[in-house]
Structures are given as structure tokens and as C-alpha cells.
Amino acid sequence: MNLDELNKVARAMVAPGKGILAADESTGTIKKRFDAIGVENTEDNRRDYREMMFRTAEAMKNHISGVILYDETIWQKAKDGTPLVKIIEQMGAIPGIKVDEGTKPLPNCPGELITVGLDKLADRLTKYYEQGARFAKWRAVIDIGAGIPSYTAIRTNAHALARYAALCQAAQIVPIVEPEVLMDGDHDIDRCYEVTEFMLKETFQELYYQRVALEGMVLKPNMAVPGKKSAKKASVQEVAEKTVKMLKECVPGAVPGVAFLSGGQSDEEATAHLDAMNKIGNLPWGLTFSYGRALQAAPQKAWSGKAENVAAGQRAFTHRAKMNGLAALGQWKADLEKAKAA
């Protein structure tokens, strides 16, 4: 393991004003997105859609540090025969790869899940590195509900995250460690804080046991937010303050940066929360974004699978990337969103 090189990549992933495009939707997940805009879920359409984003020079060069790819995408070539990985590199961004294989029910823990995919991961990582991937992603899913999460679910998922991270670093790939506490329930922000704090502390304990070098990783957590069904809402400032407090209590300063998932927040909510956190300042790590839907919903709708709409899709992607880039600097203003909408 060359830690200096891993640290260099990790720092580039969380460079000021830049963030990560999560374009790693599975074939099934992107089908749901395409169904919503009336686009057939074919391999060519998936390629064309992602190629549209990767060739958006203003967004990619100025605001995107890296792209998380799905297994299908990392091997694909653009219409002109250029590997999509090469297009990403030409834009100055770093190619990455989602390596987990989804979730399965966790035995003896009703309603809880474990992420799978560790078997033969070392071999897969070698092939992904050869293809150009310099970072990877593994997502653990923790739900909040009646009697859950259990300690079993938290510890088992944290252990799997740490084993994945160690395998990545051995393959000279920076691991994005993603422990996601879902926002689907009716819990309030304090319950989210409590569970996320538990999950983060357990994750860093397991990372220590697996001898993962913190300087060569990036954390991708959820923010402290109330569940979607919660009757008790939280202001932007409350989300920012509680999330930063939570991170300071759990995340060592050796970690180069934190790239938040959007977790089902609206485009503007995800941007506003990130901006408010960066306005707090005096943080030991960089705070940026690793968004999927919050970057892609607008360009998907603008594109709608039509070649004549590629420019409109690229404009929408550029705007979303720019807004989040500003938020990563604490320089976003809500009136910029309003001006765009007008």
C-alpha cells in the first residue's frame, strides 16, 4: 500500500468546491428513473445518458472531482468508441466504482439488512484498478424503526465496511466508506443523530481493527435529518449544526474529507444543508457532496432520452453541479436557485 498516493487521491476527491457524481445506479434502479421520464431502459440509453453528463465540460472540469460508476458503465465505450473512463479522466475527474453487490436479509434480525459482496472482492478490485478506477464505494444500510436498528445490524455492517476498506487499500484503491442511516421513517432528527452516531463510532472502531489508514479513505455518511414521515421538521440551520456536532464527535481529523449522500432530500435541501455546514467553518476535514439523485434529477428530466435535448440536459447538470460546488465552499445562495427557476 502506497499511503501517500492514496492520500493524494482522497484529497483530490474532496478538493475545495468540487464533489463526487454518484452515477452508480444499478440497472434496476435506473429503470425506475427512466420509467419516470418515459425512456426505455436499454444498455444504449444508459450509456448515452451517462455519456451526456461525462461530456459536460463546464460541470465536470469545474465542479466534479470524481464519478462513481456501476460495473456495466466502467467497461462501456461512448458512441465514438472512447472508453467512458477515458472521457472522465480527460475532464480532470477521477473514475471510481461501486463494488458492493446489494443487500440481503440479516439472519435473526427481522427487517434488517447486510451488504454483501466481499467474496472475491480482492480479485475484482485488481481488474477495476487496471480499468482505471482509483476509488471504490460500499454502502451499508441502517434503517430506523420499531426496535431497530439492533446492535447486531450495526456491528455486522460496520465490520463489512471495514473489511472492504482494507481490501481496497491493499489494491491501491481509495475506499469511500458509506454507512447510510435511512431517512424513510417517522423518527425525528434527534433519533437520527443517535443512531448515526452509534453507527459512525462502531464503523471507525472496526476500521481501526482492520488497520485501515484513515488518511487514505473518504467518509460518505448521511446528514442528521428527520425521517420523511416525521411530524417534527428541522430547519436548515438545525440540520447543519447537529450534523457538524455529530461528525466532530465521531470522525477523526486524519480523514481527508466527508462527502455526504443526499439520501432522498430534494435538490435544494441537499444543497442548502451542505452550504450551511460549510458556513460554520473551522472544520478538521473537507465537507462536500457525493450526490446521485440531487445532481441528476434535473438533467434526467431535461434530457428525457432525446438526442435533441442533450444540450438542455447538460445545462441542467451544469447548474446542479455548480450549485453544489458553491455549497461545498459555503458560498451558495438560495436566490441563485430562484433565478434559475425564473
Number of domains making up the chain: 1
CB 212 within 8 A of CB 162: yes
Closest CA to 296 of 39, 74, 89, 43: 39
Q: Mean pLDDT in the chain?
A: 95
Which residues have a Cβ under 8 Å from the Cβ of 44 and sit 6 or more positions away? none
Average of per-residue pLDDT across 272-301: 95
Q: What's the confidence (pLDDT) of residue 340?
A: 59
Average of per-residue pLDDT across 304-318: 96
Which residues have a Cβ under 8 Å from the Cβ of 29 and sit 6 or more positions away? none
Burial class (CB in 10 A: 0-12, 13-18, 19+), 67: buried
Which domain covers residue 196, as residue numbers? Answer: 3-341
CB 286 within 8 A of CB 24: no
Could you tell me the three cell numbers for 160? Answer: 463489512
Residue 325, φ and ψ in degrees, nearest 5? -60, -40
Output the pTM of the full model: 0.95
- pLDDT over 70 (residue 337): no
Q: What's the confidence (pLDDT) of residue 264?
A: 85
Instruction: Encode pLDDT of 65-93 as tens digits.
Output: 999 999 999 999 999 999 999 999 999 99
User: Is there a cis peptide before residue 149, judged by omega within 30 degrees of 0?
Assistant: yes
Longest alpha-carbon distance in the chain = 53
Catalytic residues: 178, 220
Q: Using 50, 70 and 90 to split pLDDT, how confident is the model at 263? A: confident
Name residue, grid cell 475532464: 91
Distance CA(228)–CA(216), nearest Å, equals 34
Percent of the chain past pLDDT 70, that is, above it, reads 97
Name the residue type at position 331. Answer: Q
- pLDDT over 80 (residue 52): yes
Task: From residue 283, give the alpha-carbon distance in Å to each of 44, 251, 255.
Answer: 43, 11, 12
CATH code at 253?
3.20.20.70
Average of per-residue pLDDT across 6-18: 98
